Chains A and B, each alone.
Chain A
């Protein structure tokens, strides 16, 4: 028997290869191809559109743009913008922050009247930063508080509630409405998770002189949530803020809770009801709540408006919704497109500078989900009173119109 060293890959070579692959992966993600055609002739109003058309998030993000597509139908049916045909130039960002500078360059070349998207906090931050000098009016789906700062991003308008607003509503629900005193927080290790964790801690401190009894931060690729859930259980948590953009993480956290019969009141930011939740005990799911828009909720005495119901029916009928009607209806893009159409009509202009001046004075615009108001400094347009708490399990009620609307939680 002979023992000898092979000339195969050495450990150093393997580790170097792994490092190279990681770099190449990042480059691969960054080298986003952009779709759609640029430019446009005269008598055409152009809209820039950023959406993941390819990549891992392509199917997941489609429902988020359903509202924008419906608004586009409405604008076209009304004769376009100032009577001009509307031309949308769609750009594929692959759902990646690294793609945003390249997408921004193409958007700048297109010279659109306004820009729709991108979606996702990290993507939005990269996009608004890349577009900040181009003075293109934009609304994207990102909840970071700084995205609504008119001084910092004067051309970005936030038509979603931000992490601070979410944190205030969640903390108020747990502390005031439910009277819970042992509040815990579990968040993913990301820009969004960090932002909302800090906001909840700040709100508890400033508004209630309280602090969370446990704060758990998990990696987005964590395989097992049991240790984090056990820490919360040991701390005696009776009210929990659960914030993650990963539906898989939410389900794994609930699974760990179900396994140990630990059923705190939960407030999340996502009320999508997915089939995977069917495995959990009803008691756990009945205690699951989430922040949402008042206009998308109902109570025994208060029903959503006819406009909301009509939009929900259209969303449900759209092929891109794919059962994720809740994501589609909470997306900011329907309200944004319709607001832009109104501002264009009011100003009789497609000039971004004039549109910006008008947007900075919008007050109480009746959006489908909530009223929208801006000032030159405050570009976070959703008023605090239009944010409320809904129940997860109302997705199963007929009034939810196929799981799209939500029953408002008792006491809010």
Chain B
């Protein structure tokens, strides 16, 4: 039973961690938390569901989905974020504008698709068939999702150490100061939104075989991604992945052991407890930067 809980915690926690990493990528140069992230993930999943996989290889379909979501996110940056930041880099108008963009996406999705879920098959040779090894039950696709989440953390870590990453940290620390040093914050913001959008698309692509693609899937992932972000620490990709795993495990344990209907209480109690003990995130790095 404990093995089942841990498997569920790792797999679904990886998705929550990926959502939180998407927040981090966009937040770094802008200090904006993108409230449309859940709906962007939904678009990624729905695109996989409506793509005829027989006609288009899974990998190409996934890249197309990521590209489309990246472009949508770039459009969001143009219409909902840059105009706000142009007025003041410390203004909080993005709360409303990104939320409005999220509502627009939901509106468009509601017109295009019904709430009926669609199955998306994992790519060959992966499958959702359950294997049992030493009493632990898991599918090859579940293993792949965890592996991809770890790989994304490593890639973002490499990016962080590059010149681009250094420039992003400079913009995050002081947008105007970075501009004086010859860094173009607007261009960096655009790149981050494109990357963050592609990451949201990837999260949707990965989530679709597990959760089914549906227009209603975004909100739940958004909330749990937020929880992982709060617990793991803003800006700390390793922290948010670990936080995702912790929250996923607590969620699975709550469903198994807690009385019916009290799982959200268990989840948020655990989150509160962690925040009380580790107010700066699980790894305590949330608000520190090395330059």
List the interface of chain A (C-beta within 8 A of B). 1-11, 14-15, 17-18, 20-21, 24-25, 28, 52, 54-60, 62, 189, 215-224, 226-228, 230-231, 246-248, 251-252, 255, 259-260, 272, 274-276, 278-279, 322, 324
Among B103, B128, B261, the one with the most A-chain Cβ atoms within 10 Å of its Cβ is: B261
Given the interface pairs A11-B279, A227-B5, A231-B256, the reply to whether A275 lies near B107 with Cβ below 8 Å is no
**30 chain-A/chain-B pairs, Cβ below 8 angstroms:** A8-B27, A8-B234, A11-B279, A11-B286, A11-B287, A21-B95, A25-B99, A52-B110, A54-B111, A55-B106, A59-B111, A59-B114, A215-B260, A223-B15, A223-B210, A223-B211, A224-B255, A227-B4, A230-B1, A230-B256, A248-B115, A248-B117, A251-B119, A255-B128, A259-B130, A274-B117, A275-B116, A275-B118, A276-B119, A276-B212
B290 adjacent to A247 (CB under 8 Å): no
User: Contact between A6 and B96 (Cβ–Cβ < 8 Å)?
Assistant: no
* A55-B110, A221-B219 known; A4-B116 Cβ under 8 A: no
A248 close to B216 (CB less than 8 A)? yes
A57 surroundings in chain B (CB, below 8 A): 110, 115
B248 contact set on A, CB distance < 8 A: 223
- A222 to B107, alpha carbons, bound, how many Å? 23
**What A residues does B260 contact at CB under 8 A?**
215-217
Q: What are the residues of chain B within 8 A of A62 when measuring CB–CB?
A: 114
Inter-chain contacts of A25 with B (CB < 8 A): 99, 103
* Cβ–Cβ < 8 Å partners of A221 in chain B: 219-220, 223-224
A15 CB → nearest B CB, Å: 7
- CB-CB under 8 A from B114, the residues of chain A are 59-60, 62, 322, 324
Q: Which of B77-105 contact A (CB under 8 A)?
A: 92, 95-96, 99-100, 103
Q: State whether B8 touches A224 (Cβ < 8 A).
A: yes
- Residues in chain B near residue A227, CB distance under 8 A: 4-5, 8, 252, 255-256
B192 proximal to A (CB < 8 A): no
**In the complex the two chains form, is B35's CB within 8 Å of A56's CB?**
no
Check B4–A247 contact: CB distance below 8 A.
no
B226 at the interface (CB under 8 A from A): yes
List residues of chain A with CB within 8 A of the CB of B229: 14
Contact B220–A54 (Cβ < 8 Å): no
- Contact between A251 and B212, CB atoms less than 8 A apart: yes
Does B123 have its Cβ within 8 Å of any Cβ on chain A? no
Assess whether B8 is in contact with A226, with CB atoms less than 8 Å apart: yes
B residues apposed to A, CB below 8 Å: 1, 4-5, 8, 11-12, 15, 27, 31, 33, 35, 92, 95-96, 99-100, 103, 106-107, 109-119, 128, 130, 137, 172-174, 210-212, 214-217, 219-221, 223-224, 226, 229-230, 234-235, 248, 251-252, 255-256, 260-261, 263-264, 275, 279-281, 286-291
User: B215 contacts A224, CB within 8 Å?
Assistant: no
| Bound form: Cα–Cα A381–B35 in Å | 44
Do B255 and A24 touch (CB < 8 A)? Answer: no
Cα A28 to Cα B219 in complex, Å, equals: 15
Q: Which 8 A-B pairs have the closest CB atoms?
A: A221-B220, A217-B260, A227-B255, A60-B115, A217-B261, A248-B117, A60-B114, A58-B110
Do A276 and B116 touch (CB < 8 A)?
yes
The answer on a CB contact under 8 Å between A223 and B12 is: yes
Question: Which residues of chain B are within 8 angstroms of A59 by Cβ–Cβ distance?
Answer: 110-115
- With A56-B110, A227-B255 in contact, is A28–B35 under 8 Å at CB? no
Question: Known: A3-B288, A56-B215. Is A274-B116 also a contact (CB below 8 A)?
Answer: yes
Contact B4 A18, beta carbon cutoff 8 Å: no
Q: Are B118 and A276 in contact (CB under 8 A)?
A: yes
Among B4, B99, B173, B275, contact of A24 (Cβ-Cβ < 8 Å): B99
Query: How far apart are the CA atoms of A215 and B111 in the complex, in Å?
Result: 36
Q: State the Cβ distance, B121 to closest chain A Cβ, in Å.
A: 8
Please give the distance in Å from B10's CB to the nearest CB on chain A: 11
Is A8 in contact with B110, judged by CB distance below 8 angstroms?
no
Answer whether A8 and B287 are a contact pair too, CB < 8 Å, given A24-B99, A60-B116: yes
Which residues does chain B contribute within 8 Å of A230, judged by CB atoms?
1, 4, 256
In addition to A24-B99, A224-B252, A275-B118, 4 A-B residue pairs with Cβ atoms within 8 Å of each other are: A8-B173, A56-B216, A227-B255, A248-B115
* Cβ of A147 to closest chain B Cβ, rounded Å: 22
**B215 adjacent to A252 (CB under 8 Å):** no
Minimum Cβ distance to chain B for residue A321 (Å): 11
Contacts of A247 in B (CB 8 A): 115-117, 214
